[in-house]
Structure 1
Amino acid sequence: MFRPYEIFVGLRYLRAKRRNHFISFISLTSVLGITVGVMALITVMSVMNGFEKELRERILGMVSHASITSYGGRIEEWENIRDRIIVDQRVLGAAPFIEKEGMLARDGQLSGGMVRGILPEHEPSVSDVGEKMIQGDMSQLVAGEYRVILGSELARALRVGLGDRVFLLVPEGNITVAGFRPRMRRFEVVGLFEVGMYEYDRSHAFIHLDDARNLYRFGDEISGLRLKLDDMFRAPAVARDIAASLGRGHFVRDWTRQHANFFAALQIEKTVMFIILFLIVAVAAFNIISTLVMVVNDKRSDIAVLRTIGSTPRSIMAVFIVQGTVIGFVGTLLGLAFGVTLALNVDQIVPWLEELFQTEFLPADVYYISDLPSELRWPDVGRIAGIAFTLSVLSTLYPAWRASRTQPAEALRYE
């Protein structure tokens, strides 16, 4: 006989006989439940990770990894500050900016937004806006020419395109005999960008830094410096080091603090989704319990015979733990295979389903992320598999303990 015999007997009980097809059906249901649960968890968590990565990249394309400002709102001699921090190997780029509110007008169309003054030669080192241009080029921003680059949604709201002119009104102005008169300047639209986030495409406009200085009367000062780091996840630590090196009077803010609530909400959503989907695995684990309880009742005479020939209660427990463990192992293994395959091919499966059912799951005119991005993270896969298998093993303990408590004389009384 196969040794140890507990494994042999446990595997034998998995095979159906004429009188226990129903038990085998429930065993198959348990395997399928664990498979579906693990597959769904891996796929959904990968899609959530993909959405998080996509949103993070689009946001960081505008806000940068970190920014240096002053408590007074303006920074003098920014070139010296830039030279001091750019020697840090963790800092890949630094660019000055002036950011203020403004009102854009064109033929009766008005729209407020954030106006950012930049240096076209430095901006590509800290942001991806230059790569997101759908018309025009950032290099067309020339000092003194008063040109502007608009977000695609902002341009659509103002009904303007390349070559059109818009008026930019700033909240600061002059007091005249006729009352308060806001400062305004006519700008030529030389470019349109689209980063894929409505918040930015609808509200941001770029002008040359010197034009922003003249319009907002900054002189030789700027609002701050935007930084790009070699590792965005080390931004909090790098920001603290830079703030310490600059001393008092300067404030360094990283991207995790600028959008802390958004990413915290996204993390909570991932956690809740994990818990909800894991209930599928929990239901399958309860199926394992019910399966083994029925197997124990069906095999009471067999258990009694094993006890009479010398099997210990521990051996009887091992028989049924083996049976439940195999169910959990097979279900987890199949779930891993299907889940990883599905997560790695979401970008191909979704278009195929859309074509098959003649529908569009994420319409481009409603959602800026019109496809389902997926990022498979192996630590997530390992955690899901470990929890599912552990839960399967734990679900065998009560039925196995109950089987070990079977009394041979009582079980064989009516045999």
Structure 2
Amino acid sequence: MTPAGGEGRVRAHLTLKVTAMARTPPPFAAFEWKIAWRYLRARRAEGGVSTMTWISLIGITLAVFALIATLSVRSGFRAEFVDTILGANAHASVYASAREDEFGRVVRTFPDYAERAARVAEVPGVDRAAPLVKGQVMANANGRNAGVEVFGIAAEDLAGIRRIVDPETGRGDLARFGEGLALGSGVARELGVEVGDQVRLISPEGVKTAFGVSPRVKAYEVVWIFTAGRYDIDRTRAYMPFDEAQLYFNREGVADELEVMVSDPEAVRGLAQPIAEAAGAGAMIWTWQDASGGFLRALEVEDNVMFVILSVLVLIATMNIVSGLIMLVKNKGRDIGILRTMGLTEGSVLRVFFICGAFTGVIGTALGVVLGCLFAIYIDPIFSFVNYVAGGGVWDPSIRGIYALPAKLQAGDVFSAMALSLGLSFVVTIFPARRAARMNPVEALRYE
């Protein structure tokens, strides 16, 4: 063997190697997709597992649909609950600490409420601050009684409470608020009254006489009936002009609290200290997050638990892909041996069976996303149909607090469901695909 001859053989070997590398198809080449598609369409007589593929597809579709539907209802319920709080209640309330008046009585009122409200309204981030007079009375009409919490508020301040003055859900004439009462729809229904009817309010803290305090009874016209969207608000609340409430509840010259509305309700905690300082000495603040924080935290815990549980459902659905692929690899052992002897690499075989499993996961996820989004978008007619089939009473607002099952479709929830389903589908597909790629072609063809 001459050196020249050795160099020639080395050169030839390198040339063949470079040529082979140049002819090596790229990953996920067209023929790999064709083989995978052929296996997915194969009939059982040809060794296919189309039935198992359909089972996997349906399972993933239903799991993703359930996950998106649950996440959308969760988001909708929280959004509706928070919106009813912020749309019908103060974002922050400023109370007076206990003090003694000139007669030695312990009172919790603001005699200088106008000045305090003006200072609070000047705090950056505060939209308005309104003095309130509050009291609990018995409302009577048509021989019916109902316990009512009355809010005394000025007409211009009432106009800033979005859920109360919404013309789409309310009825009556708000321009006449100074002449009567604004009643919640639940109170009006309980008393059997409509706009223009008279309602008597009975307060145990009425006129002071030499023989004690006698109940105060006074009739008012109903000028506005509102629906705030919360059963407990509509069922117990009424609004009265501020000046009239001061007279009716013996609060001449004072206010019980200040109602504060801010630009960003979610950031109200950061404004608590500036508001308290602006309100002055003896002022205490209570935000909507303080009042409803426990419920919102419970919702958050429930959301996390539900996501974990439904994630397990998605995992179980994707495990059907593993079963289908294992059966497919077993049935296609002869084909794998032939393909390997024809020159297919382990990587090509792995990608063929990975495509088979991933295709099922992608299609199932896509169908589940479509169904979940349609459910969230058309939840009202769907819920109405379920309520009709069940004969009514499926949703009790006295227990749930809101009047209907809400749903809010959020891109983050849809993305989370898609990422979870696709991620699990791709991961579980790798193991049976690797088994197919490592199959020995000699063993596969030994008994053929």
| TM-score where L is the length of structure 2 | 0.77
Matches within 5 A, 1:7-406: 7-17=33-43, 19-20=45-46, 23-72=49-98, 73-88=108-123, 90-105=125-140, 109-131=144-166, 134-142=170-178, 147-161=180-194, 162-171=196-205, 177=211, 181-191=213-223, 192-243=225-276, 245-246=278-279, 249-308=282-341, 313-347=346-380, 353=385, 373-406=406-439
Structure 1 CA distance for aligned equivalents of residues 205 and 74 of structure 2: 41
Structure 2 CA distance for aligned equivalents of residues 359 and 158 of structure 1: 27
How far is 1:387 from its partner?
Answer: 0.8
Q: Which amino acid aligns with 1:140?
A: R
Structure 2 unmatched ranges of 5 or more: 1-23, 99-107
Q: Sequence identity of aligned pairs in percent? A: 31
Compared CA separation, residues 40 and 216, structure 1 to 2 (3 A): same
Compared CA separation, residues 10 and 363, structure 1 to 2 (3 A): closer
How far is 1:184 from its partner?
Answer: 1.4
Aligned 8 A contact 2:93 2:285 in 1: yes
Q: What secondary structure, in the 3-state scheme, does the structure 2 residue paired with 1:317 have?
A: helix
Q: What secondary structure, in the 3-state scheme, does the structure 1 residue paired with 2:409 have?
A: coil
Aligned residues: 409
Structure 2 CA distance for aligned equivalents of residues 30 and 107 of structure 1: 63
When Rg is computed on C-alpha atoms for both structures, the one with the higher figure is 2
Q: Which amino acid aligns with 1:52?
A: R
Structure 1 CA distance for aligned equivalents of residues 362 and 170 of structure 2: 51
How far is 1:287 from its partner?
Answer: 0.9
Q: Which amino acid aligns with 1:68?
A: V
Per-residue CA deviations over 1:293-314 (Å, capped at 9, x if unaligned) read 1112112233344555665555
Per-residue CA deviations over 1:256-293 (Å, capped at 9, x if unaligned) read 22222333344444445444544543332011010111
Compared CA separation, residues 2 and 338, structure 1 to 2 (3 A): farther
Structure 1 CA distance for aligned equivalents of residues 124 and 131 of structure 2: 19
Compared CA separation, residues 384 and 361, structure 1 to 2 (3 A): farther
Structure 2 CA distance for aligned equivalents of residues 60 and 333 of structure 1: 36
How far is 1:92 from its partner?
Answer: 2.5
Deviates more, 1:181-190 or 1:268-277: 268-277
Compared CA separation, residues 110 and 398, structure 1 to 2 (3 A): same
Compared CA separation, residues 295 and 138, structure 1 to 2 (3 A): same
Structure 1 unmatched ranges of 5 or more: none
